[in-house]
């Protein structure tokens, strides 16, 4: 491309705008690339069921749950994978999360209902291999009848807010 018009101001202006926009676009692309790689850059993980070191569940869940973080950190920005083990007859009252919650049932059966009020008659049984996506800020609740393990995946920072604050285990101390 020949540019012979550097002294001609309309043409020069066009050239400068063109150059500027190319630089700007390159800058934006570079920035996006950096953000992408920092969000996906995680250490390799390979865990067999026997490798999992279960600890107590987070304080936002009723007592009795066990938890293990498989990858990432639910309290920090970025993708995380978590497993939760609920005992039989466990009940998580109606709540919502700030980001999408992806739930995969690993073992047992998760009885899951949608809405802002817990209703044990409206739950569906999710057997092992089942998956459900709870969009951010969407009300839902869950219960078990037997020991059940679920895998939770989402983008942190993750949290849980109960529709009825009296049902929040953190308020029962
Ligand atoms: Cu939830």
Residue 11, φ and ψ in degrees, nearest 5 = -65, -40
Same domain, 89 and 161: yes
What residues have a C-beta under 5 A from ligand 1, the ion? 101
Distance 44 CA to ligand 1 centre (A): 27
* Same domain? 115 vs 33: no
Residue 167 is part of which domain span? Answer: 49-171
- Provide CB contacts within 8 A for 76, sequence distance 6+: 156, 157
Residue length of the chain? 173
DSSP lists the bridge partners of residue 114 as 140
In the chain, the number of structural domains is 2
Q: Quick one: 90 and 150 in the same domain?
A: yes
pTM for this structure?
0.77
pLDDT string in tens for the chain (173-residue length): 444 444 444 444 443 343 344 334 444 444 444 444 445 677 899 999 999 999 999 999 999 999 999 999 999 999 999 999 999 999 999 999 999 999 999 999 999 999 999 999 999 999 999 999 999 999 999 999 999 999 999 999 999 999 999 999 999 86
Distance 16 CA to ligand 1 centre (A): 52
Whether 133 and 61 share a structural domain: yes
Shared domain check, 57 and 37: no
């Amino acid at each position: 491309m020949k540019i012979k018009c550097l002294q001609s101001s309309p043409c020069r202006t066009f050239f400068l705008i063109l150059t500027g926009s190319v630089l700007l676009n390159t800058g934006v692309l570079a920035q996006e690339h950096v953000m992408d790689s920092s969000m996906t850059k995680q250490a390799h993980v390979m865990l067999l069921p026997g490798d999992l070191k279960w600890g107590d569940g987070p304080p936002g869940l009723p007592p009795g749950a066990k938890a293990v973080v498989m990858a990432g950190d639910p309290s920090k920005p970025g993708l995380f994978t978590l497993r939760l083990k609920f005992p039989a007859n466990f009940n998580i009252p109606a709540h919502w999360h700030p980001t999408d919650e992806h739930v995969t049932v690993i073992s047992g059966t998760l009885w899951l209902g949608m809405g802002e009020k817990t209703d044990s008659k409206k739950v569906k049984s999710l057997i092992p291999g089942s998956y459900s996506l709870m969009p951010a800020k969407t009300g839902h609740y869950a219960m078990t009848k037997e020991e059940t393990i679920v895998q939770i995946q989402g983008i942190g920072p993750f949290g849980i807010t109960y529709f009825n604050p009296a049902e929040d285990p953190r308020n029962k101390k």
